Structure 1
Amino acid sequence: MTQLWARLDIRHFVTLAEVVRTGSFTAAAESLGYTQSAVSQQIVRLETLINHQVVNRSSGGRALSLTPAGRVLMQHADTLTMTLQQIAADVAALSDGTAGVLRVGCYESVGAHLLPPALAAFRRDFPKIQVKLTELPDDGDLLDQVQQDDLDLTFVVFPLTEGPFAARALLEDPYVLVAAEDSPMANAIEPVVLDDYPDVALTTYADLRPVHSMESRLGRPGYADRVVFRSNSTATLLSLAAQNYGVAFVPRMALGPCTTGIRVLEPARVSPRVIGIAWHRHRPLSDAAAAFIEAAAAVACEVEARAQGGPRGRHG
């Protein structure tokens, strides 16, 4: 961009748009609260900066018209005008407490168990904020949306992907094995070493970042050969486990209400997943976003406390 183009002012575009809308410099001046000469000077200044005529001045009764350069500029003028109107609306919304949208990303287990109470707590303090939710199976895709400014916040599982992110850890969620009551593993002594059950098939999640896969979590790449089914649905994995179609490897939070006919067992040599919430570190957090993080943190403490004191073992 040359220095001339860098000196373009948004007023030039607003004036040009008003001249086109009203059809004359005089009418545009009345609409904008300028003098007619001020409008003419801004259009001349615009033409000087871009080194192109933008308006064919009317003569002999002919209506004012745009040159090809003017038509190009008008495409951008329309966009800028709409942007200014949106800015004004957003600022007005902030001043009267109705500020728009908080965009939050989540994945299934968090969406089912952590998000609802956090959302309820948040909405008590920010009832006029619309929370727009996006659920995807892979938190890596959600982080991509934060980076692209399509989300303000997202729930994540540590470690994060590379990128301009800041995050807060919320809770630890241990992994469990879910087996049918008639599975060879059902009466295992915990913690269960899967190598002791080489003939037991496994089921687990699909569409996860490699670092979150069952094989990575257990440090056993060869376990991939024992996986007979992968699904993005926890309900599917648990139902199949109850039918003894493989032992499911899932986080404890994903269990939810009890499924009949299963045993929930602790696997050996696997660290819990750490659930957090992330945002773009180069964009300031709004009051609403900061409040949502605090609501999620408070609910996470309650969820973790219940999990530590809750029952284990046989379900159903």
Structure 2
Amino acid sequence: MLDVRRLRLLCDLSRLGTIAAVASAHTYTPSAVSQQLSALEREAGIALLERTGRRVALTAAGRLLVQHGETVLTALEQTGAALAAARTGLTGELRIGAFPSAIRTLLTPALITLGNRHAALDLQLTELDPAEVPAALRDRRLDVGLVQDYDVVPMETGPGLQSVPLLDETVHLAVAADSAAGTLRDLSRAGWILAGPGTLCHTATLKLCEAAGFTPRARHRVDDFGTVLALVAAGQGVAVVPQLATAGLPSGVRLLPLPTRRRTRVAFRQGAAAHPAVAAFIAALPPLT
């Protein structure tokens, strides 16, 4: 009999590429991951990994087991969802991951609705950049989360996850109201307000500026869009902001639509769509497009 926890580690190795990365994702030591994978090989009765020094690669049998392993993990999620649906009322935890502007505009009303409808459901919200949500879902640190992509930064959630669309929005260039700029290229020498490195917003801004023929000069690094827009209004720089962040726009800011869009989706583990808590969360979100 194959151990499901070890099977999950093998699937993660296929996705992440190294034992060190799998260990980091699960807060294990690399030695512990190696021992678990060796135990899985003994259970399978066939070599699953090819080891060359410190490097490992999946054998043909390993790749086959990963393929079936993803099916097994999905079936387990479906089983858990079916059992939860058989209970009376929604109980237990629902761990949610989302980015700040969505928490303020979309999730707060949804959480209030869920709390009123399902008082026994323990809602746990974590602020998280969309780029970090897929790994948190796979590692079972989250049950549901908001993921994003831009036209200029396409992203796939990858194996083991599925998602449903939530929001498709315009992306703007935010400049001071008295600025004469009309395009990105006009701001090649401006000071820019950028999100933190590694975030999706940061990457999207770099891609947009690169397409316009320049690299933005970072003047400030700020993740909160409310602060970003206040700095723009004060003449402290320019920034790329999505439509969702422009509610309550300061009077000193002018928005210029850019030829790219941002899409937000609700993501969860493959097989969890029928889980009543996940379904209730999606149903509570406002019907935006």
Under a length normalisation based on structure 1, what TM-score does the superposition of the two structures give? Answer: 0.57
Cα deviation, residue 210, structure 1: 8.1
Structure 2: any 5+ residue segments left out of the alignment? Answer: 3-82, 150-154
For residues 1-316 of structure 1, what are the structure 2 equivalents within 5 Å? 95=87, 97=89, 99-136=91-128, 138-158=129-149, 159-185=155-181, 192-206=182-196, 207-209=198-200, 212-217=203-208, 220=211, 223-267=214-258, 270-283=259-272, 285-296=274-285, 299-301=286-288, 304=289
Give the secondary-structure state (helix, strand or coil) at the position aligned to 1:184.
coil
Instruction: Give 1:221 shift.
Output: 7.8
Corresponding residue pairs, total: 203
The verdict on how the C-alpha distance between 1:163 and 1:216 changes in structure 2, with shifts beyond 3 A counting, is: farther
Q: Choose between structure 1 and 2 for higher RCO, CA contacts under 8 A separated by at least 6 residues.
A: 2
| Aligned equivalents of 2:199, 2:212: Cα separation in 1 | 15
CA distance in 2, matches of 1:96, 1:167: 26
Give structure 1 stretches of 5+ with no counterpart. Answer: 3-90, 186-191, 305-316
Q: Deviations over 1:169-211 (max 9, x none)?
A: 11112111221223233xxxxxx42113433332232241489
Asked if the contact 1:210/1:216 (under 8 Å) is kept, the reply is no
Task: Give me the CA root mean square deviation.
Answer: 2.8
Take 2:138 and 2:199, find their aligned partners in 1: how far apart are those partners?
19
Q: Write the deviation string for residues 219-244 of structure 1: whole angstroms up to 9, x where unpaired.
A: 52854333322211212211210111
Quote the sequence identity (%): 27
Compute the displacement of 1:282 (Å).
Answer: 4.3
Secondary structure in 2 aligned to 1:110? helix
Compute the TM-score of the two structures, normalised by the length of structure 2. 0.62
Deviation, structure 1 residue 275: 0.7
The structure-2 alpha-carbon separation of the partners of 1:219 and 1:95, relative to structure 1 and needing over 3 Å to count, comes to: same
Structure richer in strand, relative to its length: 2
